[in-house]
Every structure is written in structure tokens, then in C-alpha cells.
Structure 1
Amino acid sequence: MRFLAPALLAACIATGASAQQPPAGLTVEGLDRGLTNLGLMAGHAVQCLPEAEKPAAQRALLAFNSILIAEMGANAAFRFSSAYGAGSSHEIDRQFCERSLADWRKLMQDHNLNR
């Protein structure tokens, strides 16, 4: 789970802001946009899950957020969690659930959060 930022960038185009310098070729604005998009996707995906799977998903989200804090700083974790809150507070469009769930499950697998 080390060096999470490059992996997230590859999966989501960009990830979140931090006090650290982003990898070469990336901008802080791009990282912010990526983390925001990732949080929105996660919020949508969790709403698409069956009720029985939601507690495990919430635990995985907390684990992911703690990784963000450790590797990218509190600003990145806040950006992700704020976007997650926004993504999970809106009425979802079920036609996009299959895609959101596929992206969610890939994120969980890629970062070993599905244990």
C-alpha cells in the first residue's frame, strides 16, 4: 500500500492535494480533481451496494482514508472524504451502478482493502 498516489493516478487519472510535491508531470489541481472524482465514485458505488455489504464498504473507506492521511496528508484525506459525502448524499442513478461498482471493487482489490 506504499506509494498510493501513483497507483491512484493510474486508476483515476489523478488524486488528491497534499503538502508533498506531486509526482512529475502532475499538478496539485489535477490531484485535487482526481481525489474529488474518486470520492464521488466511491459515494455512488457504496449507495449501489446491497445493504449487507455496506458495513464492510464503510470499513474499507476508513482504511483508505487513513492511507491517504499517512501518504498524502490530511488535506488529501479531507478532499476524498468530502467528495465521498457529496457522492453518497445525492439520489443515485441506478443505470451507472454497474460501472461504479466495478471501479469500487478494483480500488478495493488494488489497494488490498477487501480483507
Structure 2
Amino acid sequence: MSSYANSRKCSTCARRGQVCERSFHSDKEWEDLQREEKRLAQELEEAQKQFLQHSQKMNEAMAKVLRLQKHQQFLKDRGGRMLDHDQAVADRLNEDDPSSACYAVPAGHCE
């Protein structure tokens, strides 16, 4: 075999006397792969950070919605109790003195 043929073979193929396919990937291909893996890892990390930030904001917003809904229901219940109370007071006043009953009821609640 010529020295040219041997120089084009990898050491294993040269030892075995086989034709070397030289199908190894080049250093550039390995560097490109590593560079792309690194870029992708950074992009993935950034996307995960953004997801966590948005998730945290959504959780905060949901907690606020639930708190406001609870407060709204409390106020509706309170208004209902106040109206029931005022109606009971008006009914009692109406029983005692029908002509003065409307003066004890807040504006807009007397018929």
C-alpha cells in the first residue's frame, strides 16, 4: 500500500488493512453541534424563566380575583341583611304608627 493510501485511513482501518470510509464527523461538525446544544439550552432556560414568571403572575391574578369575588359576595350578603333589618324595623314602626313608618326607612326603601 502506498503511504498516501495509509495517510487517508484512520489508524484502526490501517491496522486491519481495511478500506477506511473516513465517515467520521469533522471537528467543525462537532463544534457546530456543541454550539447549537449550548444555544438551545440557554433558550430553553430563558423560556422556563418566562413561564415561571407568567405562571406566578397568573397565580397572583387568580388569587386577587378570588379575593375580590369573596369580598363582593360578602357585600351582597351584608346588603341583603341590612335590607332585611331595615324592612323589619319599618314593619315594626308601621305596626306601631303607620303614618310615620316611612321616615325611619332609608331613602329609596320606602314604598
TM-score range (shorter-chain normalised) is: under 0.3
CA radius of gyration, larger in: 2
Structure possessing the higher relative contact order (Cα contacts under 8 Å, 6 or more residues apart) = 1
Name the TM-score, length of structure 2 as normaliser: 0.26
Q: Which has the higher helix share?
A: 2
Name the TM-score, length of structure 1 as normaliser: 0.25
